[in-house]
C-alpha cells in the first residue's frame, strides 16, 4: 500500500510520463496500476471545469508571478502557447513563458526555471 501511495505521488510530481530510471524500479503490476490511475485522473479532470476540463496538476504551489523565465535543457521542438505563438524549444535557449504552460515540461526535465 505504501508503494502505491508513492506511485500515486509520482503522477502528481512527474506528470503522465515517468522517467525511465523510475519505471525501471517498478514491477509490471505497479506500472499497470500507474497507467490505470493516470487514465482515471485524466477522465476526472476532463469531466470538471467546463469544455477544456481542469488540470489539477498545475499550480500545486501558488505562483508568485504568471510568467517565468526558463531555459531549455534539451531539444524539444515547437511549443504553442495560448495566444497561438509557436516557440522553438532548443537546448540552452531561454524564454519568458506563462508558468502554467511550462510547469509540466519543468517536471519532465525539458525546461529549467531560471531564478534571478
CA proximity to 101, closest of 77, 75, 83 = 83
Band the pLDDT of 6: cuts 50, 70, 90. very high
pLDDT at residue 57 above 90? no
| Residue 83, domain extent | 67-113
Quick one: pLDDT at residue 59?
64
Q: Does residue 52 form part of some domain?
A: no
Band the pLDDT of 63: cuts 50, 70, 90. low
Average pLDDT, the chain: 88
Query: Which has more confidence, 29 or 83?
Result: 29
Q: Does residue 56 form part of some domain?
A: no
Kindly state whether residues 5 and 36 are assigned to the same domain: yes
Kindly state whether residues 38 and 79 are assigned to the same domain: no
Q: What is the domain count for the chain?
A: 2
pTM score above 0.85 = no
Q: Which residues pair with 89 in a beta bridge?
A: 77
Amino acid at each position: 500500500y505504501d508503494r502505491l501511495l508513492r506511485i500515486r505521488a509520482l503522477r502528481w510530481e512527474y506528470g503522465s510520463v515517468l522517467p525511465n530510471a523510475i519505471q525501471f524500479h517498478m514491477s509490471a503490476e505497479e506500472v499497470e496500476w500507474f497507467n490505470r490511475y493516470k487514465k482515471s485522473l485524466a477522465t476526472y479532470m476532463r469531466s470538471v471545469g467546463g469544455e477544456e476540463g481542469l488540470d489539477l496538476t498545475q499550480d500545486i504551489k501558488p505562483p508568485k508571478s504568471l510568467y517565468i523565465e526558463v531555459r531549455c535543457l534539451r531539444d524539444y521542438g515547437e511549443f504553442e502557447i495560448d495566444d497561438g505563438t509557436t516557440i522553438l524549444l532548443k537546448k540552452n535557449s531561454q524564454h519568458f513563458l506563462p508558468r502554467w504552460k511550462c510547469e509540466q515540461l519543468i517536471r519532465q526535465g525539458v525546461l529549467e526555471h531560471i531564478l534571478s
